Amino acid sequence: MSVIRIVLAVAKKDFRTALSYRVGFISAIVASFWSLIAFRFISKLVNTGEFAGNGVAYFRYAVVGLLFASILEPAAIGTSASARGEQVQGTLEYMASQPVRRIYLGLSWSAYGLLQSMVLAVIVLLLTIPIGFSVTNVNVPVVVAVVVLSILIFAAVGNAGAALVIVVQQGSVIVAGALSIIGVVSGALFPVSELPSWLQAVSRLSPLTYALDALRSATLANQPPTSYTEDLLVLVGFALVSLPVSAWVLERAFRVAQQRGTLSTF
């Protein structure tokens, strides 16, 4: 399939570029692990709700939320950041002259960041085991389904951000801000039940809420498979709507830039 060919070709280019900056990957591992160490200490202070008397439970809860968010971040923010990078570097216009659909370009911009963040998440996950992280009866198919669906949904968010970059030369900050809000209302670091009721209502609009529910159930709570069904169906619905919409938005953004003659400006 041409989309896979293009995504892999661009990811390979980005990997080669990353290799030319050697310290990037190691510093990313150190930064991610360091933030989790901070949460290990914070977990000792958490003594409320479902975590009362069990700080380690909160640490596990936070590890899943943080690492999952770190995987999704390149899909969302990485896409618009890459689009901006291509724009500033001067390669965007040439890429736009290539015989590919623009949505393939959008998807390819986040590919290397995604692969890198997944490898990094696994390494950091292994590093957290000695300091208290553990899982029980992981439901691997559900974890894979949640990760794949979430990546598709957040890639769509990223494509919308890239569309902003192409039209107004900005977008990463807006996407980063939106992602931060989504993280808070979706329970990345604390249960949604701790939020005010109106924010709990908002959280039901966020796909990350369903993704985290399913992921934690599949890794920490040893839930029966039927408990994931609703979350997975909602995620499928989000993916089916968001991807085609983002493809259309990205194509429109390129057309606007072509009309204005701004593909080569930054």
Point out which residues bind another protein (CB under 8 A): 2, 5-6, 8-10, 12-13, 16-17, 20-21, 89-91, 93-94, 96-101, 255, 258-261, 263-264
Residue 233, Cβ density class (10 Å: 0-12 exposed, 13-18 middle, ≥19 buried):
exposed
Buried b (16+ CB within 10 A) or exposed e, 122-160: eebbeebeebebeeeeebeebbebbbebbbbbbbbbbbb
266/257 Cα distance (integer angstroms): 11
- Nearest-approach distance from CB 16 to another protein, in angstroms: 5
- Min dist. Cβ of residue 264 to another protein (A): 7
Comparing CB distances to another protein, the nearer of 89 and 197 is 89
What are the backbone angles phi and psi of residue 226, rounded to the nearest 5°?
Answer: -65, -20
Asked if 191 and 49 count as a contact pair (C-beta separation under 8 A), the reply is yes
Between 98 and 229, CB nearer to another protein: 98
Spatial distance between the Cα atoms of 72 and 77, rounded to a whole number of angstroms:
9
Q: Among residues 197 and 259, whose Cβ is nearest to another protein?
A: 259
Q: What is the CA radius of gyration of the chain?
A: 19
CB closer to another protein out of 41 and 94? 94
Smallest gap from Cβ 257 to another protein, in A, equals 8
Identity of the residue, 90 or 141, whose beta carbon is nearer to another protein in the bound complex: 90
- Given the complex with another protein, which of 47 and 264 has the nearer CB atom? 264
For residue 84, give both structure tokens: 């901006």
Nearest distance from residue 91's CB to another protein, in Å?
A: 5
Reduced to 3 states, what is the DSSP secondary structure of residue 266? Answer: coil
Minimum Å gap between C-beta 11 and another protein is 10
Task: Tell me how far apart the alpha carbons of residues 231 and 262 are, in angstroms, rounded to a whole number.
Answer: 42
Nearest distance, CB of residue 115 and another protein, angstroms: 17
